[in-house]
Structure 1
Amino acid sequence: MQNANQGRAANLDGDGLAIGIVQARFNAELTAKLAEACLAELKTLGIEPKLITHVTVPGALEIPVALKAMADSEDYDALIALGCIIRGETYHFELVANESGAGVTRVSLDHQLPIANAILTVENEAQAWARAEDKGRDAARVAVEMANLMDELE
């Protein structure tokens, strides 16, 4: 079987793509930085602002529910999850990190819809700040590339 896109550069042309973003409000300053970088990159990639739906939810555990509602609508070419989970002194970090990640993956697989998971899971706030801008930009690029790839594969 021939690999159709082997050796080709990623298709980052966002023209005409509809993107949904779900942003957690917990650790709001950090997730706002993720969103700012993500939205700026989506614009750079040619996504029209009117084709971007950006909603917020309380925290990372609520992200998959909102993603599922967006996926159920069949209005989007790709989705983006933005959040930040910082390790604390209890097991709660592992629970939130694992369950939010599993939920995002399940929605993506159940709907065969690309979801760029930019829910940061870090040891401390300094690590989160060091990653927020790059991960926000990366999420936009992943969403556009995967939306285009899924279109090619259909």
Structure 2
Amino acid sequence: MATDLEKAVTRDDIDGKGLKIGIVQSRFNQEIGNALLSACKSQLLLSQVDEKDITVMTVPGALESPLMLHEMALTGSFDGLIALGCIIRGDTYHFEIVANESARCISDIQIETGIPIANAILTTENEEQAIARMTIKGTEAAQVVMEMIQALKSLGRN
């Protein structure tokens, strides 16, 4: 059986030179968030995004992520943004509220501002599922945001 690191397909065909990337990491479920961040930054650096061009902001939880993403988008300082975090289902309806509202707000910010946002806030049934996905989703988030930046540039967007 492949390990989590083996499942995460890093790509060296994405050019991140000169890109400025903002990352918002939720501190709730911090161990998962830290692993998401590590995988995400590894892919960004592999893609030649300069470490000084990666800004990481932390927030308490997934519901706070959209506000920080919105404010970062409005600065005009970033080519793309990434949301990292983990929401694990509990015994109450709170899971659905947090998962649905954070995802909706992130999509709204992306459409409103025109800044691509990769949403890698995991929504899982349990911690085991989160652990199984954290490296893959962190890596993919970096890939997604860079691909979207490049796609928008191909349309003439700066």
Query: Please, what TM-score do these two structures have when normalized by structure 2?
Result: 0.90
How far off its partner does 1:102 sit?
0.5
Q: Which residue of 2 aligns with 1:138?
A: 140
Flag structure 1 segments of 5+ consecutive residues without an equivalent.
Answer: 1-10
What is the distance in 1 between the residues matched to 2:127 and 2:18? 36
SS of the residue aligned with 1:61?
Answer: coil
| 1:37-62 alpha-carbon deviations (Å, 9 max, x no partner) | 00011000010011111010000000
Q: Which of 58, 61, 64 in structure 2 is aligned with 1:62?
A: 64
Q: Which residue of 1 aligns with 2:21?
A: 19
Q: Which residue of 1 aligns with 2:73?
A: 71
Q: Which residue of 1 aligns with 2:121?
A: 119
Q: Which residue of 1 aligns with 2:50?
A: 48
Q: Which residue of 1 aligns with 2:85?
A: 83
Equivalent AA in structure 1 for residue 87 of structure 2: I
Q: Which residue of 1 aligns with 2:31?
A: 29
Q: Percent identity?
A: 52
Q: Which of 96, 99, 120 in structure 2 is aligned with 1:97?
A: 99
Q: Which residue of 2 aligns with 1:8?
A: none
Q: Aligned residues, how many?
A: 145
How far off its partner does 1:94 sit?
0.1
SS of the residue aligned with 2:17?
Answer: coil
How far off its partner does 1:21 sit?
0.1
What is the distance in 1 between the residues matched to 2:39 and 2:52? 18
What is the distance in 1 between the residues matched to 2:79 and 2:70? 13
Equivalent AA in structure 1 for residue 63 of structure 2: L
Equivalent AA in structure 1 for residue 132 of structure 2: A
What is the distance in 1 between the residues matched to 2:144 and 2:14? 9
How far off its partner does 1:12 sit?
1.4
| 1:61-98 alpha-carbon deviations (Å, 9 max, x no partner) | 00000000110001111100001000000000000000
Flag structure 2 segments of 5+ consecutive residues without an equivalent.
Answer: 1-12
Question: How large is the RMSD of aligned CA atoms in angstroms?
Answer: 1.1
Q: Which of 110, 113, 125 in structure 1 is aligned with 2:112?
A: 110
What is the distance in 1 between the residues matched to 2:37 and 2:97? 24
Structure 1 stretches of 4+ moved >2 Å? none
What is the distance in 2 between the residues matched to 1:74 and 1:144? 16
What is the distance in 1 between the residues matched to 2:104 and 2:86? 15
Query: Please, what TM-score do these two structures have when normalized by structure 1?
Result: 0.92
